[in-house]
Amino acid sequence: MRAFVLALFVGAASLAAAVDVSGLEASDVRPANNDSSKIRKFDVSSLGVDNVTQFTGYLDDEQQDKHLFYWFFESRGSPATDPVVLWVEGGPGCSSMLSLFQQVGPAKINENLDITSNNFSWTSRASMIFLDQPVNTGFSFGSGRVNTTADAAKDVYSLMTLFFQQFPQYAKQDFHVAGSSYSGHYVPAIAAEILSHQDRIINLKSTIIGDGITDSLVQNQFFQPMACGQGGVPAVVDNATCQAMKAAMPECQALVQSCYDTDETAACVKATSVCDKNLLDPVAENGANIYNLRQECQGDTSNFCTDSVPPIDKWLNKPEVLKTLGVGDVGRWEVCSEGVSADFSKAGDASKPLQRQAAKALEQIPMLVYAGDGDFICSWLGNQAWTNALDWSGHDAFNSSQPQALRANGSAQDYGEIKAANGLAFVRIFNAGHCAALDQPAAMFDLFSRWMAGEWASVKSKSPARTERLQGQCQAGNGLTKRQ
């Protein structure tokens, strides 16, 4: 059994190297049944991010030298009864601090490095944990390395188990796992890992995947249609490029199928490389904003074509912020880790069939999949297709259901459409890109609130499982095309 230490950070002597954390007060909590684990809890409310109870933390796996950082916020509403949501960022290797301050967290940071309240924060409806994982992502650190989604999921399960052991006041609440982009890999794997433990103390109720990459074989088929005007956005490449992308599909599909069939690293690495080169790179190299085809790229693709990333970077790296967070061993925060991304790439993880884990989890808990309809890198067409193709017992009921308009109370227009049956829901978000909650915050808050309330989430009687699986494919990009 691995010796884990959950260190709700602050002021640890072991982190004093890069930032002076002397003088900080921390409360130590040791679990009664495990002397090897310890919680050092630190209140970081002095940073002014929100007025709720909040603290930062580390999961320390001392045996393997893995230290995962997270930031916890109690709900603005009714923390004693509201659900708890774990948010994991994509990448692979991108920090959840990005979505904390850019999309769904309680505050945003403007160009003057001022903190402004986010009125559409998901923390208005749930307590949230923003986790930097896998190890060496964001403020997480260590010599232990993780290069597959499966191993990352095991670490997350260990963290959540320790968290609820030490904070039983949250254990009785409903728990949900959410994330975007490469979290289309992480979220199903984490859910399946949690559900595989019969003795779990985690009250997992659903999963949420936003603009994700889950089933490459299906989703890859929709790079070309999305780029060439068939996804509701005018074509962003010329006809010759469209034809070349179409011609490249058979080779791409054969390589991904080989990855699926063999699970061999070499086959999966080759699939990702070839498919990205022929289907994703031509659009990125043509100057299109691959994160939102309707918008010009602000800055560059390393910042996901948005000007909201630099202020987050500057604020999180202020010495006084680093000191308060207690992240001395890290030295500085980076939005995405090239090292983590490279490790996952070398393992061929991006082309692995995570829809299989999604199907397993879906037999027990509901799943919400949403996508902005201007996103190219993980398009709504591809996400719609893989949910339609998913081989699970509710396949036929889901495919026979009809899309319904989505509109928030008091609004004069629809913000999207939803297709739902038997606990699976797919949502197309209008006029949004890869970061749907950044582009359409009010719409995404409405969707999230209704999902937390149980709308569309009931798992009804299901039709017999299909014996065949439809085939068809958002690859993890190269350094130019991180999936966040």
Query: pLDDT tens, 69-96?
Result: 989 999 999 999 999 999 999 999 999 9
Amino acid 32: pLDDT: 41
Segment 206-247, tens digit of pLDDT? 999 999 999 999 999 999 999 999 999 999 999 999 999 999
Amino acid 10: pLDDT: 29
Count the neighbouring beta carbons within 10 Å of the beta carbon of residue 131: 32
What does the buried/exposed string (b/e) look like for 86-117 if buried means 16 or more CB atoms within 10 Å of the residue's CB?
Answer: bbbbbbbbbbbbbbbbbbbbbbbbeeeeebee
Is the pLDDT assigned to residue 434 strictly greater than 80?
A: yes
Q: Is residue 408 part of a domain?
A: yes
170, 171, 167, 211: which is closest to 187 by C-alpha?
Answer: 211
Q: What are phi and psi of 60, to 5 degrees?
A: -105, 110
Q: Is residue 222 part of a domain?
A: no
Report how many domains make up the chain. 1
- Confirm if 128 and 53 have CB atoms less than 8 A apart: no
Is the pLDDT assigned to residue 475 strictly greater than 70?
A: no
Band of residue 473 on the pLDDT scale cut at 50, 70, 90: very low
- Domain residues for the domain of 316 are 1-214+306-472
Band of residue 267 on the pLDDT scale cut at 50, 70, 90: very high
Interval 240-260 mean pLDDT: 97
Interval 257-279 mean pLDDT: 97
Segment 305-352, tens digit of pLDDT? 666 688 999 999 999 999 899 887 777 899 999 999 999 999 999 999
- Confirm if 96 and 140 have CB atoms less than 8 A apart: no
Amino acid 104: pLDDT: 97
Q: What are phi and psi of 304, to 5 degrees?
A: 60, 30
Residues assigned a catalytic role = 181, 375, 434
**Of 58-62, 283-287, 364-368, 454-458, where does the model show the most confidence?**
364-368
Q: Is residue 87 part of a domain?
A: yes
- Cα-based angle 139, 95, 317 (whole degrees, multiple of 5): 50
Amino acid 460: pLDDT: 52
Is the pLDDT assigned to residue 249 strictly greater than 80?
A: yes
**Of 24-38, 140-154, 257-271, where does the model show the most confidence?**
257-271
Whole-angstrom distance, CA of residue 30 vs CA of residue 9: 14
More confident residue, 357 or 59: 357
Amino acid 382: pLDDT: 98
Residues 6+ apart with CB under 8 A from 240: none
More confident residue, 483 or 283: 283
Whole-angstrom distance, CA of residue 415 vs CA of residue 6: 41
Amino acid 466: pLDDT: 34
Amino acid 41: pLDDT: 66
Q: Is residue 331 part of a domain?
A: yes
Q: Is residue 44 part of a domain?
A: yes
Amino acid 64: pLDDT: 81
pTM: 0.88
Band of residue 33 on the pLDDT scale cut at 50, 70, 90: very low
Is the pLDDT assigned to residue 364 strictly greater than 70?
A: yes
Q: Is residue 167 part of a domain?
A: yes
When the pLDDT of each residue in the chain is averaged and rounded to a whole number, the result is 85
Amino acid 461: pLDDT: 39
Task: Count CA within 13 A, CB hemisphere, residue 39.
Answer: 20
Is the pLDDT assigned to residue 26 strictly greater than 80?
A: no
Is the pLDDT assigned to residue 262 strictly greater than 90?
A: yes
Interval 60-65 mean pLDDT: 80
Torsion of CA 313, 317, 320, 325, to 10 degrees: 90
Is the pLDDT assigned to residue 28 strictly greater than 90?
A: no
Please report, for the domain that includes residue 422, its CATH number.
3.40.50.1820
Segment 142-189, tens digit of pLDDT? 888 899 999 999 999 988 888 888 889 999 999 999 999 999 999 999
Band of residue 68 on the pLDDT scale cut at 50, 70, 90: confident
Q: Is residue 316 part of a domain?
A: yes
Q: Is residue 263 part of a domain?
A: no
More confident residue, 69 or 12: 69
Band of residue 369 on the pLDDT scale cut at 50, 70, 90: very high
382, 83, 77, 331: which is closest to 209 by C-alpha?
Answer: 382
Amino acid 381: pLDDT: 98
